[in-house]
Structures are given as C-alpha cells and as structure tokens.
Amino acid sequence: MSPTNFLERVRVRDAVPRLAGVVARTPLAAFESEDERVEMRLKLENLQETGAFKARGAWNQLAQLTPAERAAGVVTTSSGNHGKALAWAAARAGVRATIVMPADAYPNKIQACRDFGAEVVLAPSRNACDELCAERVRAGATLVHPYDAERTAQGAGTVGLEIAEDWPEVDVVVTPVGGGGLVSGVALAIRQALGGRPAIVGVEPEGSATLAAGVARGEPVQLPNTSKVQGLCPPYSGAFNIAVAKETGLELLALSDAQILAAQAILVRVGGWVVEPAGAAAFAAVREKRLPAHLYTGRDARKKLRVACVVSGGNPDPAQLAAVRRGA
C-alpha cells in the first residue's frame, strides 16, 4: 500500500452518528492491575452488541452501502466475531449475508451467524475461506473485510474515541491484535483525539504475530499459525492496518497462549465477566508486566501509569468457559 496520511483521511469521529443508537457505549471500568505502578481501566467490549467490538465496524460498513451493494448482498471470512457481527448488521439492515468460516470455529459462533439468518459456508482452513470468499466476490457479492478496510477500522476506532473522551488523562491504550482492525482504528482515534502523548500498544499471540511481521517487512506476511487463541490468528494482517501502525507509532508485543488464558481466567473468576481468550490479551500484557519497558520509567505507587485495556470479546466456547469457571 502506497504511503497515505490516514490520520487525515480516516476520521473516526465521522462514524459516531452512524453508530449512534445502534451499538452500545461500553463501560470503562476500574480493575486491579496487580502492579502498584499501574492504574488500569478495562474497556468492556465483551458487553457490546453481539458480544464483541466487531459490531462497530460491521454496522459502519453496512450503513454506507450503495443500493447496488445492498442488493448484491455481503460476504466475509471470519472465525467468529466479525461473522456474527456482520450477520447481525445485515439482518438489521435487510441485506443478505454469507459468512465463510473455518470448520474448526467455535460451534456457538457458527450457530450465532445462522441464528441471525446468514448463510454459513464452512471451509477446512483460513486460506480456503479466503478462496471461497473471493469466488463470491467475483460473482458479485459485496466484500465486508473483517480488518483490512478503512470503514471496518473506522467503526472499530470508536472504541478508542470513547476511551479518549472518558479518560483523557490515559497514558497507554492496549488492545488485542488479530488482523489489526481494532488496533489500527483505536490508534487513529487516539492520535486524532489526544495527539501523540498516549502510547498505543497491540498484543499478539506468539504463535501468530502477523502484524509485527508485516510492520517489519512493510507488507502483509503470511506466517504458520501455532496459537490456539481463536480470533487472533488470521493468515496475515492487513496492508491498511500495517500502514496505520507505522504512521501512528504503534508498539507491538507478543505473549504466549498460556499467559493470555491465565488472564482470561482472572477476568472471568474475579471480574465476573464472560470473556473469550482473545478478549483477555491486552489485560494479559499488564498482568504479566510486559508493556514496553520505557513506559514504566519513573512510575511508582505515587505516580501511576494510567492504562486502558480493551476487552475485545465475550463469545467463548461454552465448554472452555465452563472449564475456566471450574478452575480446570
């Protein structure tokens, strides 16, 4: 993707009136960080419509379709939350939707897409999903990409705009990273609302650090996935998202699946929330004291680092959630 000033071009605030009355303004709740240097608040997108931040980007896309695009119907690939959000948005807008999903997606997420009236097509892998989706697009369907699209990221970015409005003193905003739609939208929103002062940190699984690889190379990089944290394991991160990461000074780090799952357990057992593993990745970085080292400089119990963590989704596999609640 050629260099573009996305900070000027993709204005997150423009999405606000489209989303008003459709998606929720989720709480920014104080939560114990287990680190005396850190004051933490959680942006609870697990309480959002469809149980994840994805509702924001999906509706921002559907609200801007032309009559011809609406008539053609929409299609996407998704391991779950984007697909569910697009199925919900399409049902609300009266648009036909097809969701191409990997066959190993959580069964509850597959069923959720069907419950909203979408056609679900299952494929053996994410690459096969992309191929089947491309066939539908060539046949005339309108693609609503889960992350590599300005309108998707613009809608997701309203998460960051709400953080900036509710806590303008924030020092660090941390989000989970899959393809990069959430973190790129939040980065645009924070820079547009608060300038260059807050740090923006994205957290990937060690077994699927595609955004870091893409930023290093300057283009999407497909990596072999060894992570089991569904929702954070796309085949590659988007070209748009890579460009925004470079433009906004995004910092990236990677955690093990075990660290992310341990953080999910805290949010479920202590916080009492329904949180899927992917939704806990940002909190995991704080819990593990793994934010970039320079951010902790000069911070102590009297001068705390103010950190907002996005809890991105609350659609876990029911059996996995039950095991977490049991302490298994």
Whether residue 126 is predicted with pLDDT greater than 90 in this model: the reply is no
Strands (E) located in 13-96: 28-31, 38-44, 74-77
CA distance 215 to 300: 32
pLDDT of 108 > 60? The answer is yes
124 and 102 Cβ atoms separated by less than 8 Å: yes
User: H/E element holding 308?
Assistant: strand 305-311
**pLDDT at res. 306:** 98
pLDDT per position as a tens digit, 152-177: 999 999 999 999 999 999 999 999 99
Please state the domain extents for the chain. 6-52+150-326, 55-143
CATH number of 55-143: 3.40.50.1100
| H/E segment holding residue 200 | strand 199-205
pLDDT per residue as tens digits for the range 181-202: 999 999 999 999 999 999 999 9
Tell the CATH topology of 6-52+150-326: Rossmann fold (3.40.50)
Q: Give me the residues paired with residue 121 across strands.
A: 100
Higher pLDDT residue, 80 or 204? 204
The count of C-alpha atoms lying within 13 angstroms of the C-alpha of 278, restricted to the half-sphere facing its C-beta, is: 31
Taking the model in full, what pTM does it have? 0.96
- Confidence class for position 3, pLDDT limits 50, 70, 90: low
Label residue 79 by pLDDT band (50, 70, 90).
confident
pLDDT, one tens digit per residue, over 192-228 is: 999 999 999 999 999 999 999 999 999 999 999 999 9
Domains 6-52+150-326 and 55-143 share a fold: yes
- How is the beta sheet containing 38-44 ordered, strand by strand? 28-31, 38-44, 305-311, 172-176, 199-205, 251-255
- For the stretch 284-307, pLDDT in tens is 999 999 999 999 999 999 999 999
